[in-house]
Amino acid sequence: MDGFKQIMLGACVMAMSSVIHAQQAHDFKGLGSPAGHEQIAGWNIDVFPDGTGLPDGQGTVALGEKVYKTQCMSCHGVNLEGGLGPKLVGGQGSLASDKPVKTIGSYWPYATTIFDYVRRSMPFQSPQSLSNEDVYSVTAYLLSKNNIVPADTTLDAKSLAAVKMPNRDNFYVDDRPDTKNERCMADCLKK
């Protein structure tokens, strides 16, 4: 090893030992605080396919149309035909074609997860800014425009969980044989 490399190696070892020493000298006590129930609840907003996690409140198709026009239309189009964001209506019967159109009406398996997605992610420029009433209403509007619920529908946790989506029964567990293989951790090419 030439002299320059020895000097650089020595400098690196000294730098590493100073970092380790500095970390050992500080106990980090007093930094941060345990998350409280209220803080955790703010992050725990999952809604499951069976409706578990849906909040109190309700929303109508009529209010959903108003919310859609002010918060969603610029990305998803006047008639939910898509634009910057994906198309939200149509596509029925296209999933087996060469050009499947995956929308809420043609593809989405559970209505409850529409609520979860909208509440968690929309509007794109300001996610989680809509009230529960707004999200129930937008969900009702989207379902109505896809002819899944009537135009005079009011949705709440119970009625949303009861909505059966048209494509729900066409999802299945991946039963390809390679998805059930045990994980190989050694000499995998020899097997």
Looking at residue 5, its pLDDT comes to: 75
The confidence score (pLDDT) of residue 25 equals: 63
Residue 83 binned pLDDT confidence (cut-offs 50, 70, 90): very high
Token pair in block for residue 98: 């060469």
Tokens for 48? 């499951």
Angstrom distance (rounded) from CA 104 to CA 166? 9
**What residue ranges do the domains of the chain occupy?**
45-162
* Whether residue 89 has pLDDT greater than 60: yes
Q: What is the pTM of this model?
A: 0.73
CATH code: domain 45-162 is 1.10.760.10
- pLDDT for 96-109, tens place per residue? 999 999 999 999 99
Q: Which two tokens stand for residue 41?
A: 């609840």
pLDDT band, very low/low/confident/very high, at 59 (cuts 50, 70, 90): very high
What pLDDT does 2 receive? Answer: 66
Q: What would the mean pLDDT of 22-40 be, rounded to a whole number?
A: 77
User: Measured in whole angstroms, how far is the alpha carbon of residue 43 from the centre of its chain?
Assistant: 13
Q: What is the pLDDT of residue 188?
A: 81
